[in-house]
Amino acid sequence: SQTIHQWPATLVQPVGSPLSLECTVEGTSNPNLYWYRQAAGRGLQLLFYSVGIGQISSEVPQNLSASRPQDRQFILSSKKLLLSDSGFYLCAWSVLRGGASPYGYTFGSGTRLTVV
Amino acid sequence: DQQVKQNSPSLSVQEGRISILNCDYTNSMFDYFLWYKKYPAEGPTFLISISSIKDKNEDGRFTVFLNKSAKHLSLHIVPSQPGDSAVYFCAAGGSTGNQFYFGTGTSLTVIP
């Protein structure tokens, strides 16, 4: 069966420090991978998605970047964190190819990032 | 521009009664609609979906209704239980796109 792993669960980082969040998927090949953020009192905002190794689409210009070095690995990074980067970060995957499906996404358990 | 909207940020319902959560969308090209349930500090979990060829889909206590002409969908939970207390997100996507668009969520509290 397919599983998605996301770590760490919580993270407290000072302003200006770097960030690296990792997400891995098991049990499937060539999934679509997504990074979402839920800021306090806000909905789910799509940050990046990837349809294959090295293919990254950015939805929102910001202080963050994403990389997909392997088929089932998706990394969210920042060189210098801002206070506004605080939030709940979610990785998700789907098997759809270029379109929506009734099965939607499977989300990871999330990372609570607090920038202080 | 918010393509999917949930205009009620919160809803309180007595245990045993019906909970109705609403969602509106703007893009007529969307043809799949989903509801997710999210507990604090956890990732959202898939609850129920509906495609644009249907106007109703039922799964146990959960029913989703789709009104395409009004670009509106709703989730009915009957009977509501305290364990249903969570944030509910609706999402919409099109078969020609790569992503689902999420609403801002409705926090449901079921009062025992």
What does the domain layout of chain A look like in residue ranges? 3-115
From chain B, the residues in CB contact with A107 under 8 A are 36, 43-45
Work out how many CB contacts closer than 8 A connect A with B.
77
Phi, psi of A4 (to 5 degrees): -130, 135
pLDDT digits (tens, 9 = 90+) for A80-109: 999 999 999 999 998 765 555 667 788 999
Report the residue from A42, A96, A104 with minimal CB separation from B34.
A104
Counting the structural domains of chain B, the total is 1
Cα–Cα dist A89/A111, whole Å: 5
- Tell me if B111 sits within 8 A of B15, measured CB to CB: yes
Report the residue from B45, B96, B104 with minimal CB separation from A99.
B96
Number of Cβ within a 10 Å radius of residue B4: 25
pLDDT digits (tens, 9 = 90+) for A42-92: 778 889 999 899 999 888 767 899 999 999 999 999 999 999 999 999 999
Are A99 and B49 within 8 A, CB to CB?
no
From chain A, the residues in CB contact with B104 under 8 A are 42-43
- Tell me if A111 sits within 8 A of A88, measured CB to CB: yes
Cα–Cα dist A106/A51, whole Å: 15
The CATH number of whichever domain residue B73 belongs to comes to 2.60.40.10
From chain B, the residues in CB contact with A99 under 8 A are 93-98
- Tell me if A23 sits within 8 A of A71, measured CB to CB: no
Fold of A3-115: Immunoglobulin-like (2.60.40)
- Tell me if B64 sits within 8 A of B35, measured CB to CB: yes
Q: Which helix (H) or strand (E) holds A24?
A: strand A19-26
Are A102 and B32 within 8 A, CB to CB?
yes
Q: Which domain holds residue B16?
A: 4-111
**What pLDDT, on the 0 to 100 scale, is given for residue A61?**
65
Number of Cβ within a 10 Å radius of residue B80: 23
Cα–Cα dist B36/B64, whole Å: 12
A31 to chain B, any CB pair closer than 8 A? The answer is no
pLDDT above 70: percentage of residues in chain B: 97
CA-nearest residue of chain B to A4? B43
Cα–Cα dist B61/B83, whole Å: 13
